[in-house]
Amino acid sequence: MDEDAEKLKQRLPLLDYLRQQHWTARPAGHGSEFVGLCPLHPETRPSFYVNVSKNLFYCHGCGQGGDLIRFVQLSRHLSFRQSLAYLEQQNAPPADPAAVLEQAATFYQQQLDRYPEALDYLKQRGLHDPASIQDLRIGYAPGASLRRHLTAQGYSFHFLRRLGLLNSQGCDTFYRRVIFPCCHGGRIVNLYGRSIGTALAHRFLPGSQGGLYAWEQVRQCPEVILV
């Protein structure tokens, strides 16, 4: 979580955020300081200072100070975590769930060959042909590394959590499951995780789980066997 906060503060400097909120300021003598009216309390003489190089604020009127997240906590009356979620939502590039599922499926696909327990499971279920495994884009979730992979690509922890890919500790919810991407209209709309042991339940991501996936591929077939 702290790592997310640090990245967020680098991505969105405090002064930029304040300007987005229509805070007007003038340079306060030194090159790296700005001063303006305090957005946290009513005043007529500017006493709110922002130090650009330190990325911090301090108000000589109300005595409040801190970083971007502290400012959001005070100005919006939110907790630390709520402030972080608010800022990520405000400033994240509009994230497309299908694009993230595509990334996650590719990542899991790349893991499959490295984990004999997953390949053994597929063999045991009669799936031996590497070309079919490739075609179906079957993957494996060994656990713990998806978060690093996707946050490095700019997706926020909160977004990945909302999609159901991560749990509250940031671990893969598909841990120790063989992954089958469910496609519709050429896009991945869900992932199905088949538990390879008996300890964990099979699972889908939250959201639409009913219906027949890949209908467009079978609708021309005269006969369809559902299992």
| Cβ atoms of 194 and 108 closer than 8 Å | no
Nearer to Zn ion, 61 or 143 (CB): 61
CB of 41 vs Zn ion, minimal distance in Å: 4
DSSP lists the bridge partners of residue 215 as: none
CB of 62 vs Zn ion, minimal distance in Å: 3
Nearer to Zn ion, 62 or 95 (CB): 62
Give the Cα separation of 100 and 188 in Å (integer).
9
CB of 209 vs Zn ion, minimal distance in Å: 50
CB of 57 vs Zn ion, minimal distance in Å: 9
Q: 163 CB contacts (<8 Å, ≥6 apart)? A: 97, 100, 101, 205
Nearer to Zn ion, 43 or 102 (CB): 43
List interacting residues with Zn ion (CB under 5 A): 38, 40-41, 59, 61-62
Give the Cα separation of 132 and 114 in Å (integer).
18
Pairing between β-strand 139-141 and β-strand 203-204 as defined by DSSP bridges: unpaired
DSSP collapsed to 3 states, 132-178 = HHHHCCCEEECCCCHHHHHHCCCCCHHHHHHHCCECCCCCECCCCEE
Nearer to Zn ion, 72 or 196 (CB): 72
Nearer to Zn ion, 40 or 78 (CB): 40
Q: Give the total residue count for the chain.
A: 227
CB of 39 vs Zn ion, minimal distance in Å: 8
